[in-house]
């Protein structure tokens, strides 16, 4: 996905993405990214978490404006742990 | 041939479930895999008023309209094409074709990978100016010769379309 993001940014449109792997993002260097610590398949949280999904979008918009160094990956731990059993517990919250 | 494909499809889906369930396995997979590496990033400065901006989504989650051709799961190197998703598409109109991640949760709520309803809500609350009339979707498993097609044709095609739509902000979601 980083390749697509880089192409859009290079065309003159500001972009920001969710990263699901800091290791991959540090190699592909998307212009702006946020790593929320969410598992694969869940870049915008879990089913039915309307408020949390919107908060992640707000976080992206906030950092779109805030970031001023190309290739920045902001690290947020929006889960208690990257252990799946914990991330799934969190998924039960609305 | 079909049996062979069915076996590979089931194997891919099983591996995807494992990588989703166990983040440590995913990290090991990342360490063993090769990615194109860059030492710098393209940059478009952004200092606009977000409440006046037009936003579009681009996902690599394999999302598409049920009426559109599904992404190609038979090609082991993936599918570099994209699908245009109308911004007013209902979740019930959408489906996911992508065997390389576990999309069971996204099947229940498409916003998990493609927040099409959430961005409309941000527009309704005037937090963004507008949602573009179309979003774009890829299938993120793109390898080998398809990377060239992606870089030379399909990704620039989407960028040009977003540019002609006068989109100010693109949010990208992987899977």
Residue of chain A whose alpha carbon sits nearest to that of B125:
A54
pLDDT over 90, % of chain A: 67
Average pLDDT over residues A3-9: 97
Q: Which residues of A touch B139 (CB under 8 A)?
A: none
Residues of A in contact with B120 (CB under 8 A): none
Q: Which residues of B touch A14 (CB under 8 A)?
A: 44-46, 48, 168-170
Contact A12 B163 (CB under 8 A): yes
**What pLDDT is stored for residue A85 in this prediction?**
42
How, if at all, do strands B169-173 and B130-131 pair?
unpaired
Select from A7, A53, A64 the Cβ nearest to the Cβ of B115.
A53
State whether B111 and A46 contact (CB < 8 Å). Answer: no
Note whether residue B89 is domain-resident: yes
- The Cα-based distances of B146 to A38, A64, A73, B140, B159 in angstroms read 28, 30, 27, 11, 18
The pLDDT of residue A87 is above 60 = no
Nearest C-alpha neighbor of B89 from the set B106, B61, B70, B68:
B68
Residues of chain A with C-beta less than 8 angstroms from the C-beta of B112: 41-47, 53
Q: What is the pLDDT of residues A33-53, one digit of tens each?
A: 999 988 889 999 999 999 999
Element holding A35 (H helix, E strand): strand A32-35
For residue B91, the enclosing domain spans 48-173
Residue B5 located in a structural domain: no
- Does the CB of A22 have a partner CB in chain B at under 8 Å? no
B41:A71 CB<8 A = yes
User: Quick check: is B31 in a domain?
Assistant: no
Instruction: State ipTM.
Output: 0.90
**Residues 6 or more apart from B105 whose CB is under 8 A from it?**
A41, A42, A46, A47, A91, B112
Mean pLDDT (chain A) is 85
Whether residue B91 is contained in a domain is answered as yes
User: Is pLDDT above 50 for A91?
Assistant: no
Kindly state the tokens that stand for B145: 């010769």
* Count: domains in chain B: 1
Distance from CA of B60 to the nearest CA of A (A): 6
The tens place of each residue's pLDDT in chain B, 175 residues long, gives 567 667 777 777 777 777 777 777 877 877 777 778 899 999 999 999 999 999 999 999 999 999 999 999 988 888 999 999 999 999 999 999 998 889 999 999 999 999 999 999 999 999 999 999 999 999 988 888 999 999 999 999 999 999 999 999 999 999 9
Q: Tell me if B94 is assigned to some domain.
A: yes
């Amino acid at each position: 996905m980083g390749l697509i993001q880089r192409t859009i940014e290079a065309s003159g449109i500001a972009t920001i993405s969710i990263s699901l792997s800091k290791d991959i993002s540090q190699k592909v260097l998307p212009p702006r990214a946020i790593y929320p610590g969410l598992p694969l398949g869940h870049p915008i949280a879990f089913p039915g978490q309307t408020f949390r999904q919107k908060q992640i979008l707000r976080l992206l918009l906030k950092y779109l404006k805030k970031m001023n160094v190309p290739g920045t990956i902001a690290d947020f731990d929006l889960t208690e742990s990257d252990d799946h059993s914990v991330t799934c517990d969190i998924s039960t919250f609305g | 041939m079909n049996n062979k494909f069915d076996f590979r499809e089931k194997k891919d889906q099983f591996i995807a479930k494992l990588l989703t369930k166990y983040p440590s396995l995913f990290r090991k997979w990342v360490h063993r895999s090769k990615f194109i590496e860059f030492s710098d990033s393209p940059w478009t400065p952004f200092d606009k008023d977000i409440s006046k901006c037009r936003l579009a989504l681009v996902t690599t989650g394999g999302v598409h309209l049920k009426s559109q051709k599904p992404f190609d799961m038979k090609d082991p190197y993936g599918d570099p094409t994209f699908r245009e998703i109308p911004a007013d598409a209902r979740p019930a109109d959408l489906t996911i074709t992508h065997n390389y991640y576990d999309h069971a949760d996204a099947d229940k709520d498409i916003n998990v990978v493609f927040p099409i309803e959430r961005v409309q809500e941000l527009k309704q609350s005037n937090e963004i100016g507008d949602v573009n009339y179309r979003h774009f979707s890829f299938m993120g498993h793109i390898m080998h010769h398809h990377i060239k097609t992606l870089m030379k044709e399909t990704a620039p095609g989407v960028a040009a379309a977003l540019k002609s739509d006068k989109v100010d902000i693109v949010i990208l979601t992987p899977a």
